[in-house]
Structure 1
């Protein structure tokens, strides 16, 4: 799972955290990230560990956040991504993800385009 390569391990709590991803769409998929100090594992079968946070949505929408084309807050507000878990886990999740290094530039470009006046044909 591509997102496992972009985890900010320094932001993780000092204990194991299990994040369950429930992707829907053309190819539904359930996957788990088991985040432990010094180790990140991807499981495509239930690891039989207590889940701390569940992320639901279409992989396309999570990738939009990763790439900077959208924000996690915007996708949650639009109900395209849902985080389910204790409030502390939901708040911490964005800091665990090391989004694409190009995300800040992409977000700025998206904001700039959104602020451009609309062209009107004559």
Structure 2
């Protein structure tokens, strides 16, 4: 249990979400996908600066399984894949924005 504003919050149901958002690139992916309506896999790969595309693919599978991301196949040559946040993913992103703000402020980084 966590106490907040004189109430108890049970964190046991959140364990799987906390494990997922604690994994490398997950927060970046959620943050980036919220900036755009949808993004292609390679756009996200470039944006997060990941050297290994298989790691980003794994994160997308996990985010999709958690109901946070939608995956759409685009009939192009070569076939493309586009990702977007679900309603649940957008809700999570909104809750993460204060965390992103805090990280930026506490790191001493200047906003771009």
Q: TM-score, normalised by structure 2?
A: 0.27
Q: TM-score, normalised by structure 1?
A: 0.25
Structure number with higher strand proportion: 1
